[in-house]
Amino acid sequence: MAIQRLHTESRYSEIVIHNGTVYLAGQLADDYAGDIARQTAETLDNIERLLAEAGSDKSRLLAVTIHLKDLADYAGMNAVWDAWLPAGCAPARTCVEAKLYDPRARVEMTVVAALP
């Protein structure tokens, strides 16, 4: 089966599709000036947009890895996440504290989803 890569840069692709599965590169907010709620909402908007482009959606999430700059933001991130995620569609999920590439970034998410 062919591998499809979308929005490919020299080091990564934003979307990789293979064998009925969509893989998204780590997604971040567009504006790092916001608090954890704003950055989480923007990150989830980007995820939703890329999943749609790949032919999937948030109801088909399989796994999500969440990197938080500070675990003190866990509750704030979860409040936005819980409102965004459709009922009954919780993926396998990992959340860790990590030093992100830009000190202003508070959250980054890596997603694996199924195609219909």
CA separation for the pair 85, 111 (Å, rounded)? 13
Residue 28: band (very low, low, confident or very high) from pLDDT cuts 50, 70, 90: very high
Tell me what pLDDT residue 62 has. 98
Number of Cβ within a 10 Å radius of residue 38: 16
pLDDT in tens, 30-79: 999 999 999 999 999 999 999 999 999 999 999 999 999 999 999 999 99
Rg of the chain (C-alpha set): 14
Token duo for residue 110? 């890596």
pLDDT attached to residue 1: 78
Domain ranges of the chain: 4-107
pTM, entire model: 0.95
What is the spatial distance between Cα 101 and Cα 4, in angstroms, rounded to a whole number?
A: 27
pLDDT at residue number 77: 98
Residue from 10, 29, 30 nearest 67 by CA: 29
Place domain 4-107 in its CATH homologous superfamily.
RutC-like (3.30.1330.40)
